[in-house]
Structure 1
Amino acid sequence: MSIHKLHPRLQDLVKDQKWDRLTEIQEKAFDPIYQGKSCIIEAPTSGGKTEAVLFPLLTRIATRKTSGFKVLYIAPLKALLNDLALRVLPYAQKCYMEAFKWHGDVSQGDKVRQMNFPSDILLTTPESIEAILLRRGNWRAVFSSLETIVIDEAHYFALTERGSHLMSLLARIGEYLPHEPQRIAVTATIGNPDELLHWLMGGRSGGECIRVEGKNTKEKDFEIRFFVEDGRDLQRDLYNLLVRKKSIVFDRSRTGTEDTAARINQYNQEHPGRFPVKVKTHHSSVSKRLREDAEASIKNVSGESLNAIISTSTLELGIDIGELDQILQIGGLNSSGSFLQRVGRTGRRAGRPQFFRGLCSDVGELVLLTGCVSLGMKGRSEAILLPRRAFHILAHQVICYCIQHAGATAEQIWTTLSKAFCFSKISRAELDMLVAHMVQEEYLRRVNGNVLLTGDKSEKEFLRANYRRLFAIFDTGPIYNVVDGKKVIGTLDSEFARTQQLPFIFVLGGQEWNTLKIDHEQQQVMVQKNETGIAPKWNTYNNPDIPFELAQEVGRLLMGDETIEFLDYQAFMVIRAQREAHRYLGWEKRKWIMEVAGGSGKIHLWTFAGDKINRALHIIFKSCSEGEGSYDYQKVVLNMNQMSIEAAYALMMRLRDQTENDIVNLLESNTAPKWFSKFSACLPDALATRTIIEKGMDAAGLVRELNIVTIEY
């Protein structure tokens, strides 16, 4: 495509930047976006996706003279919005237009001015859109000229409940627009772009996927290293890798990032040298100011700049932190898509390879990381399982819709919200069941017959403090204090504290604690020292699920004998030992192996099907054998004193005759409702159970696999 299609001022920009040409995705995307077509823009990290979207949009809307927001640009993080604004605002000004970023850190005065004199482009988050719809009376006017909705990092949204919230918001905005806006989703490589397009479009037809493959010509310097013991060897190797380099070090937990940073600082003190390694941490419990300081410091080219940011997944998304020399991963990783996102931050300079080092001391984490890198080197990402029965989000949206419209009927709510993909498998009867329960529990109340208003319980739980708890679907209070008498021991994540059933035991500060009481109102956990010696399960709680594709790749690698070039000698020896331990199974794609684990009295069903499919199988076996059993992403385990291997095989054969609805009904009858969201209390037990199953199990995937695998025993 010739750059002459661009707005004249953008042509000047391209020349000033000395860009030889537009990137492949920018060329392919220009005409469809300019012509107003809805689409998925899929390209690897650093492919120029932002400009691929903005250049045709700015070129088109520069000719429009209407007032109001013309482009709604949605990103998942405030930091990402701040980063985008550094490019979007100058691009807009070049074309004689204005852009405005709107999030929680922007002053109310500036927001009021935007509602009176809206810019052409609004950069914001789903939570801020919710606040606009609920608190700004003239929102219809400012959105009346809306032409295009852009969703940045769409794969991130689709993976989380915030994506369901976002799709609901778009349905509510579209309710009053004279025409359906163009929808554009910007994403890194994913395994099922066509399904993401359905998610984006909701009940609408049309749309296309515009995709650019990753270039395998880029030189790669990847290595995974294994350390027999976690400690000085791993930390010393990490330290040496960081000297005089610009790096991001990813760790799986907030505790891990802080521990790694502390060890690096200790090493600086114990081994003073000319080039001490300077690091800061970056995760959800670090304040906004400190996170931004870390992002700014590592961009600095002076001698005072950082060598590394030690981060959880918060730096996985496309926040610009300048040129990086390397990406380091401590421990395992649960997604090849995450690996591609992370490693794509390196090798952007000409003549520099993509550089990755994985440092593992746990065999299981080594196996997973090997699978991730193996898939990533093929450019393959996992498919995203997109929710279609998000009842807890529906409950949230029913409350919001009633506030937004100062009362609404169930029919009005259904007409609007049923268009969102996340509710596409919810029936009108299920909505009526939800509304009846919310009325009974006083989250809603009826007036004038069929009109619904918020009830006393909604007012108490969600509408205080200026609706702050309502704007976000996730819990805004992430910390519970742990108290022994009057002494505060430390803190727990709310997700951990709220899902435990008394009595439970956990470790904090190296000490086992027995929980006496949980006060959810005050967000406190009352404890005393535990003397029973019961092993806590802290470290295994709420690990991200291993997806099907990664589980299959692990199975393939364990059964194979191919040389894995990116393993160091120690890692190679561990993988070789794992191969020796598993190869006897003879597992392969489309074949499940059922065996009696020698002398253990247990049956192992080896599927390598991932956590969500195996969790569903575990529930089914448990319901039929009255035993606990267990599962992981590789296999399902059951006790032989509860079921023989012949009976287990016969059950698997019977399951092959079941439809997806049959499997879901079986899972529903054997799954207990429990707390999983601050809105789950709004649900009757039946709908809560259905949501839990969709969130944690893959019934469709189980049916798919049962119909294509052979089962041997």
Structure 2
Amino acid sequence: MSHFERLHPSLRQWVWRQGWPSLRPVQEQAIPEVLAGKDVVIAAPTAGGKTEAAFLPILSEIADDPGRGVKVLCVSPLKALINDQARRLEDMAEAVGLRCQPWHGDVTQGKAGFWKNPPEILIITPESLEAMLMRRVNKLVEALASLRFQVVDELHAFFDSPRGAQLLSLLNRVDQQIGRRVPRVALSATAGDLQAALQFLRPGGSESGAVVEVSSGGGELKIGFMTTLRELETTPISLPSLPEETPQAESVPVPGWSDLPPPEADEPPEMDPVADHLFQCLRGRSNLVFANARNRVESLAATLAERCELAHLPQEFFAHHGSLSRDHRTEVELRLREGKLPSTVVCTSTLELGIDLGDIHTVAQVGPAPSVAALKQRVGRSGRRPGAAQILRQYVELRKRKNAHLIDGLHLPLLQSIATIEGLRAGEFEPPWTANLQLSTLTQQILSVLVERGAMPAAHLHRRICAPQGPFARIDAGRFAEILRALGANAQIEQLPGGEIALGEAGERLTEDYRFYATFVTPEEYTVFSASGKRLGTIPVDDPIVPGQSLIFAGRRWRVLNVDTERLTIRLEPGRGGRPPMYASGGMNVHERLHRRMQALLLDDPFPAYLDPKGRQCLADARQHHANTDLGTPGLYRTQTDLILALWGGTRASTTLAIALSGRGVEAMPMGPFVLVPAEDAETLAAVIAELIETMPTQSELAEMCPPLAEEKFESLLSPALISLAIGSRSLDREGAMRALQRLVE
């Protein structure tokens, strides 16, 4: 019997009705693995048929199941993905007489009758599932009594994140509530170490799981490259003191080469050559332009829209990011999906995931992509039609300062952009970071389980939340007790006379707030309206905005009519000039593999064939700068003001070494592949490095050196020592730092 013949007859007919000549390889290969009841990770390019690969065998398995209630629990990271997935599954499910219910905060249809007659397929966000477990757990357990599969959409979106830990904890809690282990099927469009992805799906428990992978990334990859170099009149930048509040390398980018402000929005049009080039190359088709920060998205989208107005052309350039209103984002997504009008959308990672956007012709990346995996996901948006090429246009914006720092001459954004593309071409992707203890999410889950289950002994609570096959398995009883003491100290929990742990008064207040369900911080924001009352989005309240000011928002230029600081609202009317809102943004956490690729580019003679003339010249200049300074080789180098430790070991390794040096009394600042130390500390530095090579502090000792400044949502409920431990687990790479130190002395 062929794999196709193992599908339910009604689903085989459904496949024939789609006009498919055959199943895709990923769909064929997934059938026996899913039907075997294994944990399965299915990886294929965007629009590669992953949804059908998972659900054809799943629906075949449950089609004739007599049990009542939800048979498939599908968790997805985005509301838009849930809506899209529900649309795609509805027809397939109907073929075998099954129903599908999307569930998130914006859905109303179907919720009222859900509890009386649960559909067989529930597609839900982690936050909504959290709310169900806390508020309606008895009804949820009844609805899930016949659950057969747990499905995770866009698995890679959950890696190394508070939401990922929350997701895995929620799936474990569902297993505990229904009293059995339910098979997990995960979908991922990004290639990489899929065995690591399988371990992430069920930590320590997926040894018998399966990986189904189709490595083809679609059609031919065509790459265009544009480099701009802008000279700035500035004075050299000296090494600042290590700020106590900044333990992470990605939060302290190198002045002069990374995280520089974009071109001012009110500059003449000719001052933004990237916008000029995008306008010339992308008009008339559907395209995506990824920028690394919301303010760059806004300035670029507004400049492109202005180009249309000046040329008296219909508008086809739009902005898309998480601070814009749901209605705005939905309209933009629908315009792309329908494909009736040319549309170029400038966006952040909001359009990186697998929402159906129709036929995307070109993907542009402004600045280095955050990672090779992210670039793979983004490029996969194009070239979906059979035989169509995937098209990437990479833009690198360099800044050149007179009397700049020695590091500036390496043109690091250019190196990173090339290294990311070369990693993509070689199929080498960053593995998930698994050392993060996720103490913020653990804190949330402790309080949530106490709402779900009521008071219980501390040992029982620990066994439930820190189960061997869960995201918190590394938290032993002693560390768990330390967390409970911290929560008890601020009345989040209390110990009853019988010794059981229960919610405290402060914990009851916290868990009653709907914002508790999310693991991410929700900043205080203004809600922004047009003069006609249309909701446009949100702006942080710490952005000093005043009436009469010009502002760029939603890819258009506005004048601020009024700012209501009590109701937290801003009203806008069309205007000219202005700047984007001041959104907070973290820097990139660059993996060691990418730093080593960047380093290799300084040592190699060939030039990538796709480089533009300016890019070739800047890479040649960077190689000459390395030949003059040797900065591309691990070692210690001196300037008039600084000592430069060239590590090329990943930003976590740089941060770790800076923390270790600071702990030994040497002022140090992590700067991407480098660590900078004041020149006057030369003698001390040599001695301390020798000590660290001999006896590097343990991970716990390094974590204790991290300033205890709460960054994630629930960390403020913990003790300073636990906050430092949490920061260290996600920001420090002791092994990477030791490897980097060894390279220094080789």
- Residues 165 and 393 in structure 1, CA contact (< 8 A), matched pair in contact too: yes
- How far apart are residue 491 of structure 1 and its match? 8.3
- 1:480-503 C-alpha deviation (Å, 9 max, x unpaired): 799xxxxxxx98648x99xxxxxx
- Residues 227 and 612 in structure 2, CA contact (< 8 A), matched pair in contact too: yes
The residue type paired with residue 689 of structure 1 is S
The residue type paired with residue 17 of structure 1 is Q
Counterpart residue number, 2:647 = 607
- Structure 1 residues 523 and 339: alpha-carbon distance in aligned structure 2, compared to 1, 3 A threshold: farther
- How far apart are residue 641 of structure 1 and its match? 1.7
Q: Indicate the larger mover: 32-41 or 630-639.
A: 630-639
- Structure 1 residues 407 and 159: alpha-carbon distance in aligned structure 2, compared to 1, 3 A threshold: same
- How far apart are residue 169 of structure 1 and its match? 1.0
Structure 1, unpaired ranges of 5+: 483-489, 498-507, 511-520, 525-537
Counterpart residue number, 1:135 = 135
Counterpart residue number, 2:637 = 596
Q: What are the residue-to-residue correspondences of 1:529-544 with 2, within 5 Å? A: 542-544=586-588
Aligned residue among 482, 505, 509 for 1:433: 482
Q: What are the residue-to-residue correspondences of 1:143-154 with 2, within 5 Å? A: 143-154=144-155
- Structure 1 residues 191 and 658: alpha-carbon distance in aligned structure 2, compared to 1, 3 A threshold: farther
User: Is 1:300 equivalent to 2:338 in the alignment?
Assistant: yes
- 1:493-519 C-alpha deviation (Å, 9 max, x unpaired): 48x99xxxxxxxxxx989xxxxxxxxx
- How far apart are residue 701 of structure 1 and its match? 3.2
- Residues 218 and 384 in structure 2, CA contact (< 8 A), matched pair in contact too: no
Secondary structure of 2:608 counterpart: coil
Counterpart residue number, 2:379 = 343
Cα distance in 2, alignment partners of residues 124 and 539 from structure 1: 29
| Identical counterparts, % of pairs | 26
TM-score of the aligned structures, taking structure 2 as reference length: 0.82
Counterpart residue number, 1:192 = 193
Structure 2, unpaired ranges of 5+: 231-262, 264-270, 399-410, 529-536, 544-548, 552-564, 569-581
Structure with bigger RCO (C-alpha 8 Å, 6+ apart): 2
Counterpart residue number, 1:249 = 289
The residue type paired with residue 390 of structure 2 is Q
The residue type paired with residue 343 of structure 1 is V
Cα distance in 1, alignment partners of residues 694 and 173 from structure 2: 41
- Residues 97 and 120 in structure 1, CA contact (< 8 A), matched pair in contact too: yes
Q: What are the residue-to-residue correspondences of 1:283-294 with 2, within 5 Å? A: 283-294=321-332
User: Is 1:375 equivalent to 2:423 in the alignment?
Assistant: yes
- How far apart are residue 262 of structure 1 and its match? 1.4
- How far apart are residue 403 of structure 1 and its match? 0.8
Q: What are the residue-to-residue correspondences of 1:356-395 with 2, within 5 Å? A: 356-362=392-398, 363-395=411-443
User: Is 1:235 equivalent to 2:275 in the alignment?
Assistant: yes
- Structure 1 residues 397 and 192: alpha-carbon distance in aligned structure 2, compared to 1, 3 A threshold: same
User: Is 1:549 equivalent to 2:584 in the alignment?
Assistant: no
- How far apart are residue 306 of structure 1 and its match? 4.2
Counterpart residue number, 2:615 = 571
- 1:19-45 C-alpha deviation (Å, 9 max, x unpaired): 122222212211011110112222232
Counterpart residue number, 2:579 = none
Secondary structure of 2:722 counterpart: helix
Cα distance in 1, alignment partners of residues 687 and 28 from structure 2: 56
The residue type paired with residue 729 of structure 2 is E
Q: Indicate the larger mover: 390-399 or 200-209.
A: 200-209
Cα distance in 2, alignment partners of residues 700 and 292 from structure 1: 44
Counterpart residue number, 2:500 = 451
Alignment: residue pair count:
653
- 1:547-584 C-alpha deviation (Å, 9 max, x unpaired): 22221211111221122012111111111111211245
Counterpart residue number, 2:168 = 167
Cα distance in 1, alignment partners of residues 479 and 19 from structure 2: 58
Q: Indicate the larger mover: 316-325 or 6-15.
A: 6-15
- Structure 1 residues 190 and 673: alpha-carbon distance in aligned structure 2, compared to 1, 3 A threshold: farther
- How far apart are residue 190 of structure 1 and its match? 4.2
User: Is 1:696 equivalent to 2:731 in the alignment?
Assistant: yes
Cα distance in 1, alignment partners of residues 604 and 91 from structure 2: 53
- Residues 134 and 404 in structure 1, CA contact (< 8 A), matched pair in contact too: yes
- Structure 1 residues 228 and 711: alpha-carbon distance in aligned structure 2, compared to 1, 3 A threshold: closer
Counterpart residue number, 1:479 = 525
User: Is 1:331 equivalent to 2:380 in the alignment?
Assistant: no
- Residues 666 and 677 in structure 2, CA contact (< 8 A), matched pair in contact too: no
Aligned residue among 575, 578, 582 for 2:626: 582
Counterpart residue number, 2:401 = none
- Residues 190 and 337 in structure 1, CA contact (< 8 A), matched pair in contact too: yes
Counterpart residue number, 1:43 = 44
Cα distance in 1, alignment partners of residues 30 and 691 from structure 2: 49
Counterpart residue number, 1:282 = 320
Cα distance in 2, alignment partners of residues 299 and 604 from structure 1: 50
- Structure 1 residues 651 and 267: alpha-carbon distance in aligned structure 2, compared to 1, 3 A threshold: same
Cα distance in 1, alignment partners of residues 365 and 664 from structure 2: 41
- How far apart are residue 208 of structure 1 and its match? 2.9
Counterpart residue number, 1:270 = 310
The residue type paired with residue 355 of structure 2 is I
- Residues 292 and 370 in structure 2, CA contact (< 8 A), matched pair in contact too: no
Aligned residue among 636, 655, 680 for 2:692: 655
- 1:82-108 C-alpha deviation (Å, 9 max, x unpaired): 11111112111111111111111122x
- How far apart are residue 235 of structure 1 and its match? 1.6
- Structure 1 residues 383 and 353: alpha-carbon distance in aligned structure 2, compared to 1, 3 A threshold: same
- Residues 246 and 307 in structure 1, CA contact (< 8 A), matched pair in contact too: yes
User: Is 1:416 equivalent to 2:455 in the alignment?
Assistant: no
- Structure 1 residues 330 and 104: alpha-carbon distance in aligned structure 2, compared to 1, 3 A threshold: same
TM-score of the aligned structures, taking structure 1 as reference length: 0.86
- How far apart are residue 405 of structure 1 and its match? 1.4
- Structure 1 residues 611 and 480: alpha-carbon distance in aligned structure 2, compared to 1, 3 A threshold: farther
- Structure 1 residues 477 and 232: alpha-carbon distance in aligned structure 2, compared to 1, 3 A threshold: closer
Secondary structure of 1:76 counterpart: coil
Counterpart residue number, 2:721 = 686
Q: What are the residue-to-residue correspondences of 1:596-675 with 2, within 5 Å? A: 596-597=637-638, 599-627=639-667, 629-644=668-683, 648-658=685-695, 662-675=697-710
- How far apart are residue 2 of structure 1 and its match? 4.5
- Structure 1 residues 20 and 651: alpha-carbon distance in aligned structure 2, compared to 1, 3 A threshold: farther
Counterpart residue number, 2:242 = none
- Residues 282 and 312 in structure 1, CA contact (< 8 A), matched pair in contact too: yes
- Residues 190 and 383 in structure 1, CA contact (< 8 A), matched pair in contact too: no
- Residues 442 and 457 in structure 1, CA contact (< 8 A), matched pair in contact too: yes
- How far apart are residue 264 of structure 1 and its match? 1.6
Secondary structure of 2:618 counterpart: helix
Secondary structure of 1:688 counterpart: helix
- Residues 653 and 740 in structure 2, CA contact (< 8 A), matched pair in contact too: no
- Residues 388 and 422 in structure 1, CA contact (< 8 A), matched pair in contact too: no
